[in-house]
Amino acid sequence: LRDRQIAYRITGIASRRLGWIADPKGLSLPRGAGALDREAFPASRASNVRDWLRAAQADVLFEATSLNLDSGQPAIDHVRAALESAAHAITANKGTVVHAYQELSALAASQNRCFLFESTVMDGAPIFSLFDSLPALHLRGFRGILNSTTNVILSGMEQGLSFEQSLKHAQDIGIAETDPTHDVEGWDATVKVAALVIVLMDLAIPLSGIERKGISGLSAEQVRRARAEGTPYKLVCRAQRREDGVTAAVRPEKVPPGDPLASVSGTSSAIHFETDILPGLAITEINPSVETTAYGMLADFIRAVSAH
């Protein structure tokens, strides 16, 4: 950031547990990982996002609340409030894109601010920003593996674990949530497909418009046999443009030998775009971590402040 002559200070932090902490002179943060201690900060006077943004005199908001599949809230309200107060809004929350992309992008444009969300799909890999470097390209469709939890579970089952053991392993290494339904039943992947279709194909699609099947119906025996036959099961995400819109699906598929998706294992993910000029353009992200997600938000931050 110094090399790019970007100076920053953190003037606000908020969560349900911490409340709305703000100090325009800058907050000093403890170094390293771990939960922040409420007592380490000045008492917060703000009681809602708008007062908090004002108290913090925010130029940029980093929004990283948990995903609410049905409404995209409270992330949408947070991003809207930031843009209305003339701050850039950067989010890792897919709900903002799936439920309010049109509104929030129009608001950002009218305020001459950025609404950026690179981390929402494939963490820090350039997926949305890739298309900024490909002007006038027409995206016909895509196919990929976009959910780590299911990929880790399938890899574990191939190596001899049962579904339950493999899920437990994914939870132990911090990949899967305590309630893994969201990933296992394909919801996380479906939300990512929707985000890609909405932004990159410029087509409105509700989550209900995407065929969805998770991996809970696969037995360990089926998964191992498919791998032994050279056609491993993957939770494949796909979308294809049609004359009257788009067809999109998330479902376990046997991937043929030689298909690049067959070698994407564990926490890795991959996407293969089909475009008019570049018939096949693929990105593989190998073993991402939370730092990778944070990097996506940092890259958005640099893009936003460099452009304004």
Residue among 300, 286, 304 nearest 92 (CA) = 300
Distance CA 60, CA 83 (A): 9
What gap in Å lies between CA 57 and CA 27, rounded to an integer? Answer: 13
Look up residue 47 and give its DSSP letter. Answer: -
Q: How far is the CB of 32 from ligand NAP (least distance, A)?
A: 16
Closest approach, Cβ 21 to ligand NAP, in A, equals 12
- Lookup: tokens for 160: 């001899």
Q: CB 36 → ligand NAP: shortest distance, Å?
A: 9
Give the list of residues 6+ apart from residue 38 with CB closer than 8 angstroms, or none. 17, 18, 19
Q: Specify the residue for token string 């903002």.
A: 96
- Nearest CB to ligand NAP, comparing residues 119 and 265: 119
Angle between helices 148-158 and 163-172 (to 10 degrees): 130
Cβ closer to ligand NAP: 10 or 64? 64
Q: Which is nearer to ligand NAP, 48 or 162 (CB)?
A: 48
| Residue whose CB is less far from ligand NAP, 65 or 222 | 65
**Which position among 168, 192, 213, 254 bears the catalytic label?**
192
**Which CB atom, from 14 or from 193, has the smaller least distance to ligand NAP?**
14
Nearest distance from residue 18's CB to ligand NAP, in Å? Answer: 6
- What's the rounded Cα separation, in Å, for the pair 113 and 154? 42
Q: What single-letter DSSP state applies at residue 280?
A: -
Structure-block tokens of residue 64: 């990283």
Question: Of 92 and 218, which CB lies nearer to ligand NAP in the complex structure?
Answer: 92
Residues that bind ligand NAP (CB under 6 A): 14-18, 64-67, 74, 92-94, 119-120, 123, 290, 293
CB of 92 to ligand NAP, least distance (A): 3
**How far is 267 from 146, CA to CA, in rounded Å?**
10
Residue 256 has, within 13 A of its CA and on its CB side, a CA count of 1
Q: Can you count the helices (H) and strands (E) in the chain?
A: 9, 11
Contact 272, 55 (CB under 8 A): no
**Minimal distance in Å, beta carbon 251 to ligand NAP?**
21
Is 192 an annotated catalytic residue?
yes
Q: Which residues are catalytic?
A: 192
